[in-house]
């Protein structure tokens, strides 16, 4: 299989923290060829060239569109069109723009015969997810959605055990994902406006997806409310959100999501999920004759905490460290190596794109795509569009003051 050429569209926070380091590592392993990043302007590209990444990946770099020394004030949000049009077909476009722009960009990439990796959520509307699924299938192209929490080993373990019947049935749960307060000072203030996004569909979606990933249960209704706030630049947004999702067996999951975890907290964010389940009553399930089961994932404090000499660099006196998401650590090769489910997720998606690209004619590619959909490990438009059903219902519920919105299949 030959290395796949990749082009990022959007080069913001997630590209810096997770996607580009993962791609650099895959490049040094020979899976990935040239890496390009398209941005609206050079101003948004410069943070991707720094000492931290240079030390981790010595000698590696990306092709910048526009070039780094071009006028930072010159913005062109259509630049990706000319770059993608010039890519040889059958390579990989990585869509990392704000959520509400995904549909147009992904459609364009598919129409130009590129496989796609998209940051989550794929899109906000189910008809858009269905259109992406159809277009990709017709052309034999792979679309993988980067729900990295799926590759957390605790989620993989829970999925296997739940599907083996070890937890009985999910009945009631709660989850939370509160991102750092400082996000309000980032580029988020330019796009995370009420009409484009809210914390539930932006990050709460991880835990909706996770319940589906573990249990296979489809959501049937959503109630969602939000709490407003104002960004430093004056844009008004939903800063906090609470949603309750019910599932086809009557179970319910309540999710709190927001942009407001205290900078001085040990955090650096707050996240986790608890699922109460019921097995069959009686002595068959346990000697005590009771059927209660539980899955608890503390995704915030994973048993590692640090206190550094340089408070200023760390941002706090004392930090909880998440060793499982994404870290650059020493390895036997040059520089540092990315480890964690952030890397595992990207690797699985890139390897799948390579497999599909190498599968041969249209019929063979379509057969492999059906296999990947069916396996259900990587989120694809075909196997994870319950997420768009939930997003669509949640946005409607939010707009209508927390009305319960039913989901139909
Ligand atoms: N926990 C998570 O899973 C997680 C975390 C962060 C971000 N994300 C997802 O990643 C995506 C990007 O988020 P982010 O945090 O990097 O946001 P960001 O605001 O830091 O970066 C987005 C970038 O896209 C660029 N952009 C916008 N329109 C463009 C266009 N037409 N052409 C080229 N570039 C364009 C912007 O200039 C910006 O630099 C979103 O879909 C978000 O939901 C996921």
Domain assignment of residue 384, yes or no: no
Nearest residue (by CA) to ligand 1, atom 9, is 119
Write the CA distances from 156 to 211, 213, 261, 277, 340, integer angstroms: 12, 9, 27, 17, 13
Measured by CA distance, the residue closest to atom 19 of ligand 1 is: 187
Mutating to test ligand 1, I would choose from 7, 12, 259 the residue with most ligand atoms within 8 A of its C-beta, which is 12
Q: What per-residue confidence (pLDDT) applies to 282?
A: 65
What is the distance between the alpha carbons of residues 248 and 337, in angstroms, rounded to a whole number? 42
Task: Give pLDDT tens digits for 1-52.
Answer: 789 999 999 999 999 999 999 999 999 999 999 999 999 999 999 999 999 9
Q: Ligand 1: which of 9, 14, 118 to mutate, most ligand atoms within 8 Å of CB?
A: 14
The reported pTM is: 0.96
CB-CB neighbours of 191 under 10 Å: 17
312 and 167 belong to one structural domain:
yes
SS3 145: strand
One domain, residues 205 and 232: yes
Are 257 and 200 a contacting pair, CB within 8 Å?
yes
- Using CA atoms, how far apart are residues 173 and 276, in angstroms rounded to an integer? 6
CATH number of the domain enclosing 114: 3.40.50.720
Domain that holds residue 91: 4-149+333-378
pLDDT at residue 404 in the model: 98
Based on the fold, state whether residues 63 and 194 are members of the same structural domain. Answer: no
| 81 and 182 assigned to the same domain | no
- Both 267 and 246 in one domain: the answer is yes
Q: Which residues line ligand 1 (CB under 6 A)?
A: 9-15, 38-40, 44, 77, 80, 96-99, 101, 119-120, 187-188, 202-203
Residue 114 C-alpha to ligand 1 middle, in angstroms? 20
For ligand 1, atom 28, the nearest C-alpha belongs to 97
Q: Would residue 295 count as lying in a domain?
A: yes
Please indicate, yes or no, whether residues 103 and 222 belong to a single structural domain of this protein: no
Distance 159 CA to ligand 1 centre (A): 29
In a domain, 193, yes or no: yes
Strands (E), 181-316: 219-230, 236-247, 252-261, 270-278, 292-298, 305-306
- Same domain for 246 and 225: yes
Q: How far is the CA of 10 from the centre of ligand 1 (A)?
A: 6
Which of 80, 94, 97, when mutated, tests ligand 1's pocket best, judged by the most ligand atoms within 8 Å of its CB?
97
Based on the fold, state whether residues 113 and 29 are members of the same structural domain.
Answer: yes
Q: Are residues 343 and 273 in the same domain?
A: no
Q: Strands 32-38, 4-9: parallel, antiparallel or unpaired by DSSP?
A: parallel
Ligand 1 centroid–CA 386 distance in Å is 22
Q: Does 173 lie in the same domain as 298?
A: yes
3-state secondary structure (DSSP) of residue 132: helix
Q: pLDDT under 70 in the chain at which residues?
A: 282-285, 289
Q: Helix (H, G, I), strand (E, B), or coil: what is residue 381? A: coil
CA of 9 to the centre of ligand 1 (A): 9
H-helix segments, 86-125: 102-111
Q: What's the confidence (pLDDT) of residue 2?
A: 85
pLDDT of residue 348: 98
- The CA distance from 405 to 398, in Å, is 10
- The CATH number for 305's domain is 3.30.360.10
The closest residue, in CA terms, to atom 36 on ligand 1 is: 10
**Tokens, residue 48:** 């991707």
Question: What is the whole-number distance in angstroms between the Cα of residue 100 and the centre of ligand 1?
Answer: 10
| Residue at 383 is within a domain | no
131 lies in the same domain as 101: yes
How is the beta sheet containing 169-180 ordered, strand by strand? 292-298, 270-278, 169-180, 252-261, 236-247, 219-230, 405-406
Does residue 386 sit within a domain?
A: no
Q: Is residue 196 part of a domain?
A: yes
Distance 379 CA to ligand 1 centre (A): 19
Contact 294, 272 (CB under 8 A): no
| Tens of pLDDT, residues 179-190 | 999 999 999 999
Residue nearest to atom 39 of ligand 1 (CA): 12
Comparing CA positions, the residue from 110, 6, 82 lying closest to residue 346 is 6
Q: How many Cβ atoms sit within 10 Å of the Cβ of residue 94?
A: 30
25 and 73 housed in the same domain: yes
- Our count of domains for the chain comes to 2
Atom number, ligand 1, closest to the C-alpha of residue 187: 19
- Contact indicator for 338, 21 with CB cutoff of 8 Å: yes
Whether the CB-CB separation of 158 and 207 falls below 8 Å is answered with: no
Report the length, in residues, of the chain: 409
Question: Does residue 367 belong to any structural domain of this protein?
Answer: yes
| Burial zone of 178 (CB within 10 Å; 0-12 exposed, 13-18 middle, 19+ buried) | buried
Q: How far apart are CA 313 and CA 308, in angstroms?
A: 9
8 A C-beta contact, residue 143 and residue 106? yes
Q: How far is CA 387 from CA 74, 151, 294, 365, 392, in A?
A: 36, 17, 24, 25, 9
CA distances from 6 to 72, 91, 115, 119, 308 (A): 24, 6, 9, 15, 37
In a domain, 59, yes or no: yes
């Amino acid at each position: 299989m030959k290395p796949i050429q990749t082009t990022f569209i959007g080069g913001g926070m997630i590209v810096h923290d997770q996607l580009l380091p993962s791609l650099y590592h895959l490049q040094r392993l020979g899976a990935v060829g040239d890496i390009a990043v398209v941005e609206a302007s050079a101003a948004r590209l410069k943070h991707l060239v720094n000492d931290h990444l240079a030390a981790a990946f010595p000698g590696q770099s990306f092709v910048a569109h526009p070039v780094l020394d071009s006028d930072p004030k010159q913005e062109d949000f259509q630049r990706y069109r000319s770059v993608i049009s010039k890519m040889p077909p059958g390579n990989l476009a990585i869509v990392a723009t704000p959520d509400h722009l995904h549909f147009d960009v992904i459609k364009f990439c598919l129409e130009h015969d590129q496989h796609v990796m998209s940051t989550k959520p794929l899109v906000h509307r189910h008809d858009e997810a269905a259109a992406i699924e159809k277009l990709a299938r017709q052309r034999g192209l792979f679309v993988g959605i980067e729900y990295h929490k799926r590759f957390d080993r605790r989620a993989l373990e829970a999925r296997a055990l739940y599907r083996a019947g070890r937890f009985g049935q999910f009945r009631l749960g709660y989850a939370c994902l509160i991102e750092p307060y400082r996000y309000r000072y980032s580029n988020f203030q330019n796009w995370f406006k009420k009409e484009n996004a809210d914390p539930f569909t932006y990050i709460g979606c991880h835990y909706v997806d996770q319940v589906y990933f573990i249990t296979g249960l489809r959501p049937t209704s959503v109630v969602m409310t939000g709490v407003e706030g104002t960004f430093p630049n004056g844009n008004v947004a939903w800063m906090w959100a609470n949603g309750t999702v019910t599932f086809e067996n009557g179970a319910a999951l309540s999710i709190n999501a927001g942009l407001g975890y205290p900078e001085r907290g040990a955090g650096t964010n707050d996240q986790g999920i608890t699922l109460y389940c019921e097995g069959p009553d009686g002595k068959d399930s346990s000697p005590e004759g009771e059927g209660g089961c539980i899955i608890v994932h503390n995704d915030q404090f994973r048993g590692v905490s640090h206190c550094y000499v340089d408070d200023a660099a760390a941002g706090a006196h004392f930090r909880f460290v998440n060793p499982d998401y994404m870290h650059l650590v020493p390895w036997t090769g040059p520089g540092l190596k990315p480890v964690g489910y952030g890397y595992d997720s990207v690797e699985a998606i890139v390897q799948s794109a390579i497999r599909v690209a190498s599968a041969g004619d249209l019929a063979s590619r379509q057969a492999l795509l059906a296999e990947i959909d069916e396996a259900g490990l990587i989120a694809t438009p075909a196997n994870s569009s319950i997420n768009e059903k939930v997003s669509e219902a949640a946005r409607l519920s939010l707009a209508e003051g927390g009305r319960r919105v039913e989901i139909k299949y």
